[in-house]
Amino acid sequence: MRDAVGGLIGTYDISGRYLDQNAIDNLKSYFTQGEARVKVAAMINGNAADIVTNASLRLFDVVPELLRPGGYAYTTRRYSACLRDMDYYLRYSSYAIVAGNNEVLDERVLQGLRETYNSLNVPIAPTVRGIQFMKEAVLGMASEAGISDTSFIESPFDHICRDFSEISI
């Protein structure tokens, strides 16, 4: 897993260049946001169960057919799998927030997920909606904590949603 610093240095190292002003500005931005990144990760850690539960309740309110016979979250096993997956997305998003790099999402969550979800006929649109609900919850918590620049929070959630939107079912 790469963080923002390692990724930036690796890119410049491969091309044999010194860090230019753009690189320095990117590093400054990452380190300036460092405390906020850690705060958000701590908020996610301390509230993960509530974030997942509330996002799933909102999702099932918007898409109630998921809970009906034949729906993907119908049966206890499928319902539990849905919550488990939402928890994975949230946890790995918190890692990406701290790292300032979404590569962990590609390496640990998204690789192979297309094939798995396609083979299991997991509905993608509700999955994306649930991830967006979790993003909204984390953004709300960050706002309440006085964190004004939330772009680093949006990035991993949006990255997962973009990747899912490319899934063809």
CA-CA distances (angstroms) from residue 163 to 73, 90, 105?
A: 22, 15, 10
Closest CA to 81 of 31, 50, 127: 127
Mean pLDDT (the chain, rounded) = 92
Q: What residues does each domain of the chain span?
A: 1-32, 34-165
Q: How many CA atoms lie within 13 A of 79 on its CB side?
A: 12
- Total count of residues recorded for the chain: 169
pLDDT confidence of residue 18: 96
Residue 111 has pLDDT above 90, yes or no: no
Q: pLDDT > 70: what percent of the chain? A: 96
Q: What is the average pLDDT across 89-108?
A: 94
Q: Is the pLDDT of residue 134 over 50?
A: yes
Residue 109's pLDDT is 87
**Cα–Cα dist 32/39, whole Å:** 13
CATH code, residues 34-165: 1.10.490.20
Contact 73, 67 (CB under 8 A): yes
How much is the pTM?
Answer: 0.88
